[in-house]
């Protein structure tokens, strides 16, 4: 079973594609952003520590996130295939991941920056099942589970701009890291979600044929 990493700037569509990939290949979706938001909701110690970083659009410290992912990967369902969405985000995290699990492919969803802000401003997230939608396609209620949709605190334009510059400075270098390992596949993320998904499916089919 595949063990995949999804890379890409904020709003690239990592979460959207992770859900589709997991459905198609019966993989487990591990989103560090969702895990952190859950901790914040529970007001746990990790949540208390992480909340200020998320609010500002900064990365939470490497040791905190690496230990959280390490614990998640130790759970039984993670021994099958998985999609990591939002991790790794620094070279240190990528190196730590290598010691935890063998990654088959790093899929980089490349999107022009002018499209990203528009997507982020239009994103609506389900308070319950965490599904994401474009505001134009929904009425304020999740079409999957019927719960309310909300706007993520870090989707404010000023926070998004910081997230993007943090991405460029700290996360973009891991694209080169995965290129050097021969595991990088870059997908054109400027098209519709269905078209992005088709490109990913093609890359995975080619991987099987290898």
Give the integer Cα–Cα distance in Å for 3 and 5.
Answer: 7
Closest residue by beta carbon to ligand AP5: 33
Q: How far is the CB of 149 from ligand AP5 (least distance, A)?
A: 10
Give the integer Cα–Cα distance in Å for 45 and 25.
Answer: 34
- Indicate which residue of 72, 123, 124, 130 is catalytic: 123
* Residue with the two structure tokens 């909340």: 51
Active site residue 42: no
Q: How far is the CB of 210 from ligand AP5 (least distance, A)?
A: 27
Active site residue 144: no
Active site residue 123: yes
Is 85 within 8 Å of 35 (Cβ atoms)? no
Is the CB of 51 or the CB of 204 nearer to ligand AP5?
51
Q: How far is the CB of 23 from ligand AP5 (least distance, A)?
A: 14
Q: Where are the alpha helices (DSSP H) in 43-150?
A: 45-56, 62-73, 91-100, 113-121
Name the site residues for ligand AP5 (rule: CB under 6 A): 8, 10-16, 32-33, 36, 53-54, 57-60, 65, 86-87, 89, 93, 119, 122-123, 132-134, 154, 163, 189, 192-193, 196
Nearest to 13 by CA among 126, 136, 89, 107: 107
Nearest-Å Rg of the Cα atoms of the chain is 16
Residues that are catalytic: 14, 89, 123, 152, 163
């Amino acid at each position: 079973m595949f063990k995949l990493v999804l890379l890409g700037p904020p709003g690239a569509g990592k979460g959207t594609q992770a859900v589709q990939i997991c459905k198609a290949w019966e993989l487990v979706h591990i989103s560090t952003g969702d895990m952190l938001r859950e901790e914040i909701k529970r007001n746990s110690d990790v949540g208390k520590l992480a909340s200020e970083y998320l609010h500002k659009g900064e990365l939470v410290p490497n040791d905190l996130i690496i230990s959280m992912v390490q614990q998640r990967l130790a759970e039984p369902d993670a021994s099958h295939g998985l999609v990591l969405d939002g991790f790794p985000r620094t070279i240190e995290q990528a190196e730590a991941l290598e010691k935890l699990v063998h990654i088959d492919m790093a899929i980089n969803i490349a999107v022009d920056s002018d499209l990203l802000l528009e997507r982020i401003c239009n994103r609506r997230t389900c308070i319950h099942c965490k599904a994401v939608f474009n505001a134009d396609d929904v009425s304020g209620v999740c079409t999957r589970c019927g719960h309310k949709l909300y706007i993520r605190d870090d989707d404010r334009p000023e926070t998004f701009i910081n997230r993007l510059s943090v991405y460029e400075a700290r996360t973009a270098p891991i694209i080169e890291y995965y290129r050097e390992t021969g595991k990088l596949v870059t997908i054109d993320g400027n098209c519709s979600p269905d078209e992005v998904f088709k490109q990913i499916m093609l890359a995975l089919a080619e991987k099987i044929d290898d």
